[in-house]
Amino acid sequence: MFLRDAPPPTPTSSSTVLVRILSIAVWWLLAGWMAGYPTLRARPIALANLIAFLVIFGLLASFGFVTAGIASRKGGSYFRWRYYGLILPLIALPHALLKRTKTAPPPSGD
């Protein structure tokens, strides 16, 4: 297939692109850290180190879920805030707590 035969790209919103970029970045950072972690020392990973990694990652993921839950109740996107809370938990949690609630428009009289 030549370039001139390719279908035109479909328009996507900027939020969809941002969520996709954040998702890819998070998984690459996690994969890079996991791949580099065993190479830091000559001996294999101990079970305690693996458990410590899972506990720390679980705590960070829970910060992301808590932040997303708070922000979604205030009118934000759950998925976008989940990644924001996973990447920057110490900034995202206060940001979600201080976020103003989106008010719904008044119902029409029709």
pLDDT in tens, 29-52: 777 666 665 555 556 667 787 788
Asked whether residue 75 is assigned to any structural domain, the reply reads yes
Residue 93 has pLDDT above 70, yes or no: yes
Asked whether residue 65 is assigned to any structural domain, the reply reads yes
Asked whether residue 104 is assigned to any structural domain, the reply reads no
What residue type is assigned to position 62 of the chain? S
pLDDT at 82: 85
Asked whether residue 91 is assigned to any structural domain, the reply reads yes
Residue 88, domain extent: 15-98
pLDDT at 2: 53
What residue type is assigned to position 98 of the chain? L
The gap from C-alpha 27 to its chain's centroid, in whole angstroms, comes to 9
Count of beta carbons in the 10 Å neighbourhood of residue 88:
14
Asked whether residue 24 is assigned to any structural domain, the reply reads yes
Asked whether residue 78 is assigned to any structural domain, the reply reads yes
Residue 100 has pLDDT above 80, yes or no: yes
Q: Structurally, how many domains does the chain consist of? A: 1
Residue 98 has pLDDT above 80, yes or no: yes
Asked whether residue 4 is assigned to any structural domain, the reply reads no
* Confidence at 79, pLDDT banded by 50, 70, 90: confident
Nearest to 80, CA basis, from 10, 99, 69: 69
Asked whether residue 57 is assigned to any structural domain, the reply reads yes
The C-alpha atoms of residue 55 and residue 87 are separated, in whole angstroms, by 16
Contact 48, 109 (CB under 8 A): no
- Rounded to the nearest integer, the mean pLDDT of the chain is 75
